[in-house]
Homo-oligomer: A and B are copies of this chain.
Amino acid sequence: MDAAIRAFATHGVAGTSLDDLARTLGVTKQTILYHHGSKAGLVDAVFARAAADLIAVLDDAVVGEELGWSRVDAAVRAAFALAVRRPELVSLLREASRLGPPASDDAVAALRPLVDRALVALTDGMASGRFRRGDPRLVLVTAYAAVTGVVAEPELLRVVEVELDVRTAVRLRRIVLDVLAGLLRPELSSQG
């Protein structure tokens, strides 16, 4: 299953044949079909599993964290840690996004609670003055784009000739946190 996540993330769903996948798993294609019925079934299972992993990690990071900036900080740190440890999850998220409906419906449904809670947290924070005011949806989109973009594009990093090792990841995380601080922390006015 982890191998399937990696394969779909690396080569895309269309670019991964059941034969290839079976070969890397040391089984035959029919074994896979036996367990998941069809390739579409496998895709659903893989997306569901990846979404569950994502949710588990982010939930775990945020729980117990007090409201406000420290929660944002914790979420970003968890996201970066996950992205460095399992970058294929981020790539798979993108693949699901590109496939669009109806293939992505399940993943969208699975992640919606997470998104909704983030939106509630942002909205509450803005209402109570912990965060700068703004459209929480657009802020969330920007934050997501910044976090996933820097870890899901190894080619991009190759163009600017940096490697995504732990040190670089920490520095990127600091930049992203700076960015989010500029967007959210109320004492800062970043509009010149």
Binding site for B on A (CB under 8 A): 10-15, 91, 94, 96-98, 100, 104, 108, 111-112, 115, 119, 134-135, 137-142, 144-146, 148-150, 153-162, 168, 171-172, 175-176, 178-179, 181-183, 185, 187-188, 190-192
Contact = CB atoms under 8 A, between A and B. Distances in A.
Contacts of A97: 153-156
Contacts of A98: 10, 12, 91, 155
Given A14-B11, A179-B179, A182-B178, A141 B155 contact: no
Contacts of A168: 138
A119 B187 CA distance: 31
A150 B145 contact: yes
Contacts of A142: 146, 149-150, 172, 175-176, 179
Contacts of A14: 11-12, 14-15
Contacts of A96: 155
Given A181-B191, A181-B192, A192-B181, A141 B158 contact: no
A179 B150 CA distance: 15
Contacts of A135: 171
Nearest to A108: B159
A119 B160 contact: yes
